[in-house]
Amino acid sequence: MKKVLWGMMMFILMFFMAMPVYAVEDYTFDLQYTGEVVKNVQKDGYVILKAGKDSLPYSKVRVKIKIEGPATPVILARDSNNTQYNVAQLEYWGPQTGFPVNSATINVTPIQATYPEAGTYTTTLSLVDVSQEPEKVITTKQFTVHVYEEDEVPENNVIDNAVVDNNIANNTLGELPKTGTSVIEYAMYIIALTLIISIVGIYLNKKRMKA
């Protein structure tokens, strides 16, 4: 009997070790534009907020913006009322009361950026839940933009201030690495474990009846 139980325990252990554990897909930021960024030349682009399939819903979020570099750029964006804002100056995007997001969210915000000085700029975008105090950071992404003097642009690159295609960009942000187990995966584990325990119980009952 002990050998049987030991064999069952080993089977359960091997089963869970063999089951794949996938990364939880959460909210991510992307930046897309074409060509090089040049001092005092407006660059058109897109900032994209995209949810993963396992992203939790939030009713009140905002995007915090922090920019570090040789100078403060002008980054213009328009809200749903077509009102234009300089988000680099405001240091946030979205209404003060926040806006809702869920697993179906794909927000594409056109921007027009102008950098007054050449050099390297670091921008940090953070999605925060403003319904909590202090604000909860849901996800954050940092990326860099190098701004050229007009006479320093590499010869093999073209100064182009129009985004040709959403899938073409020379500076696309990657997704944040996430670890953990989704609710669906936990449910699968529970179901599998329940089935295994049931099979073990049936087997042991049969052994008792025979004995």
Q: By percentage, how much of the chain surpasses pLDDT 70? A: 62
4-13, 14-23, 145-154: least confidently modelled range: 14-23
The average pLDDT across 135-161 equals 84
| pLDDT number for residue 190 | 56
pLDDT at 158: 53
| Residue 132 pLDDT grade (very low, low, confident, very high; cuts 50, 70, 90) | confident
- For the record, the structure tokens of 210 come out as 């025979």
- Cβ burial, residue 190 (10 Å; 0-12/13-18/19+): exposed
Domain residue ranges of the chain, discontinuous segments joined by +: 2-21+185-210, 28-178
CB 127 within 8 A of CB 55: no
- Residue identified by tokens 């100078």 is 71
Whether residue 60 has pLDDT greater than 70: yes
Give yes or no for a contact between 136 and 73, defined as CB atoms under 8 angstroms apart.
no
Q: What is the C-alpha to C-alpha distance for residues 193 and 183, in angstroms, rounded to an integer?
A: 15
Does the pLDDT value for residue 65 go beyond 70? yes
Q: Which of 72-76, 131-135, 160-164 has the lowest mean pLDDT?
A: 160-164
pLDDT at 154: 84
Determine the pLDDT at residue 211: 60
pLDDT on residue 169 = 34
**pLDDT higher than 70, residue 131:** yes
* Band of pLDDT at residue 142, cut at 50, 70 and 90: very high
Is residue 39 within 8 A of residue 150, CB to CB? The reply is yes
Tell me: pLDDT of 179 over 90: no
Region of poorest pLDDT, from 21-35, 41-55, 71-85: 21-35
Higher model confidence: residue 85 or residue 166? Answer: 85
100 within 8 A of 60, measured Cβ to Cβ: yes
Q: What's residue 163's pLDDT?
A: 41
Mean pLDDT of 8-22: 51
To 10 degrees, what angle do helices 2-18 and 183-210 make?
160
How is residue 25 written in tokens?
């897909």
In this predicted structure, the answer to whether residue 113 has a pLDDT above a threshold of 60 is yes
Q: What strand order describes the sheet that includes 43-50?
A: 28-32, 43-50, 106-114, 74-78, 84-86
Per CATH, which fold does 28-178 belong to? Immunoglobulin-like (2.60.40)
Q: Is residue 181 predicted with pLDDT exceeding 60?
A: no
